[in-house]
Structure 1
Amino acid sequence: MMNVKQILDQQLVADLKLIPHESKNTSFSGFSYLYQQTIFVKVFQVKHKMETEKKVNQQINQRYLTDFVIEPAQYVLVMHNLDLEDIARPITPDLASTMGEVLSDFHREVKPFAGINKEIDYWIMANETLTNISASSFIIHLQEILSYFELYAKTIEQDINRTSKHVIHGDVGLRNYKIVAGRICLIDFEKVKIGPVFLDFTKLFYQDFRNDQKLKKAFLRGYQSNQIDWQISKVTENFLLFITALGIFSYTSQIMDTNFEQVGMRMLADVEQYLSQQ
């Protein structure tokens, strides 16, 4: 029985090389004699993620070549290969500003499409996420915080509805910013959805910027180049920060990732500081 690489090599008339990646998807690259060029192949376990990645790429570039299904239920997306270059650290304020401009352009240019995910009811999502976190004493504390935010549900929902008019990336981080032909761009669009644009700032600010205020201000200065309405009340900002932290804790309760868990803890600490001042 042929493995995934062998199936792809046969179908694409290629000799592909596996690209190591931290996501659950499998990626390959290599020269295809069928397309007479170097291709990038991404194999998804979920059809919707493949379709989302495909539709965003079709909107903003000419990378898409084809897609197909291989057994057992794996969804293959084939694209032109890009010569990607990582962004070197340290992140400077000028670089942070450019990253803000790039994300702002993404929010402005990408339009909703058939089948795109939309953020579900945040209160339901928060309670469902809490069920995935195993430490009972920690859950009680998180439930108390959620109860506080529920007192301001009307304000929070108004802010979220007002700032959810754009397609957001869903996984903005330094690893998804790359240099292509001398320009900084975003990649990996499988988590794209419609939601409040502030959600696209949270992990970047806390994971890659480590909450550096100079970098955050520079990023937002660049982001405002398209005058997108992103600003929300402090209570909504902290609620969305809390929701993001819950998602991280849910993930790290199933997959051990101490560094990522610490990102969530830094978010939670800022939420707790905000609550202590109310």
Structure 2
Amino acid sequence: MTLETTLGMLLQADLARLDHPSFNTMFTGFSRRWQCQLFVKVFASDRFGKFSTERTVNEQLNNRVLMSSQLATGEWVLVMRDLPMTPLSAELTPELAQQMGSVLARFHRTVHLPAATNQPSMVMTKINGLRQAPAYPQLLKLQHLYESQLPVIETELRQVKPVVLHGDAGCRNYQLVNGSLVLIDFERAHLGVPQVDFQKLFYQDFAGDQSLQQAFLNGYGPLPALSSLTSSWLTFQSAVGILSYVQRLPDPEFERVAQRMLQTVIDQLS
């Protein structure tokens, strides 16, 4: 049987596959078993960590999770109540940006994950996987510039109390549900420095707009102080992560976000 047929029988639902660029497979449909609309997220057998994190965070924040299980074929399935979600307006305002900052701050204060969820820096490993990418020589040069400063950077980062980062806090993962602004999609959540969660949002969705950035920071509240060196290192890590992602799921626009990040890093180091 196909995955869709297997799930349909298990959940007593007529499911439709969602067309969305992702490493996961997702479905929606009405379930006769639970008498509600479902959102079903299927993770490959080797993505248990992502599956477990998504389930854990949802269980802490809401009552959406209905069941979770592993199929005989190895995939991990998370079944949740679907929500009537409305995407953010394409036109962002400082007022909305401030709300977004408040929502992310609440997420950082509320969610808890075991220390094992901390993701150590794997920048060099990711750079090695980008040997065929046009940016590879530039990445290697920047990595060499940071190497002598890494003990200083790591010492500074150890002084910062880690929070659970959302891991993908872009506009697409902010949604309006019954008029309230919420975050969704938690599989990339992990422990880290708060500022890491701002990178993609500021460079991609806010496109460097200082008024939106400042409004977001006003909504977020106090942050741990970081040196310009450490701040640039966090930006560098984010850029490498994006380039690694687009190598597997090509996205020219997202790749340009990484290039803007790298230019910022170069300017800060020069």
Query: What's the TM-score bracket when you normalise by the shorter of the two chains?
Result: over 0.9
Pairing of 1:94-109 with structure 2 (within 5 A): 94-109=95-110
2:119 and 2:19 map into 1 onto residues whose CA distance is 30
Amino acid corresponding to residue 266 of structure 2 in structure 1: E
Aligned residues: 268
Q: After superposition, where does 1:54-203 map in structure 2 within 5 Å?
A: 54-113=55-114, 116-120=116-120, 122=121, 125-135=122-132, 138-203=135-200
Q: Tell me the distance in 1 between the aligned counterparts of 2:11 and 2:243.
A: 40
Q: Deviations over 1:7-60 (max 9, x none)?
A: 111111111122222212111112111112222111111122111111101111
Query: Distance in 2 between the 1:160 and 1:187 partners?
Result: 27
In structure 2, distance between residues paired with 1:220 and 1:47: 34
Q: How many Å apart are 1:230 and its aligned residue? A: 3.4
The gaps in structure 2 that reach 5 residues or longer are: none
The one-letter code of the counterpart of 2:6 is I
| Length-normalised TM-score, structure 1 | 0.91
Write the distance in 2 (CA, Å) between the matches of 1:248 and 1:136.
12
| Correspondent of 1:215 among 200, 203, 212 | 212
Measured after TM superposition, the shift of residue 138 of structure 1 is 4.0
Corresponding position of 1:33: 32
Moved more, 32-41 or 173-182: 32-41
Distance 1:174 1:137 in 2: 28
Q: Distance in 2 between matches of 1:74 and 1:137?
A: 35
Q: 2:53 is matched with which residue? A: 52
Cα drift, residue 162 of structure 1: 2.8
Conserved 8 A contact 1:132-1:253? no
Structure 2 CA distance for partners of 1:71 and 1:95, relative to 1, 3 Å: same
Displacement of 1:135 in angstroms is 4.1
Counterpart residue identity of residue 181, structure 2? I
Q: Give the drift of 1:164.
A: 4.6
Mapped partners of 1:263, 1:242: distance in 2 = 12
> Contact 2:229/2:269 (CA < 8 Å) preserved in 1?
no
Q: Matched residues in 2 for 1:238 and 1:250: separation?
A: 18
Report deviation, 1:187.
0.2
SS in 1 for 2:40: strand
Q: Which sections of structure 1, spanning at least 5 residues, go unmatched?
A: none
Matched, 1:250 2:251: no
Taking only the aligned residue pairs, the percentage that are identical comes to: 39
Alignment root-mean-square deviation, CA = 1.7
Give the secondary-structure state (helix, strand or coil) at the position aligned to 1:103: helix
Q: Give the 3 Å change call, closer, same or farther, for CA 89–138 of structure 1 in structure 2.
A: closer
1:65-101 deviations in Å (ceiling 9; x for gaps)? 1111123211111111111110111111111110000
Q: Distance in 2 between matches of 1:158 and 1:109?
A: 26
Q: CA separation in 1, counterparts of 2:138 and 2:88?
A: 38
State the one-letter code of the partner of 1:107: H
Q: CA separation in 1, counterparts of 2:42 and 2:214? A: 37
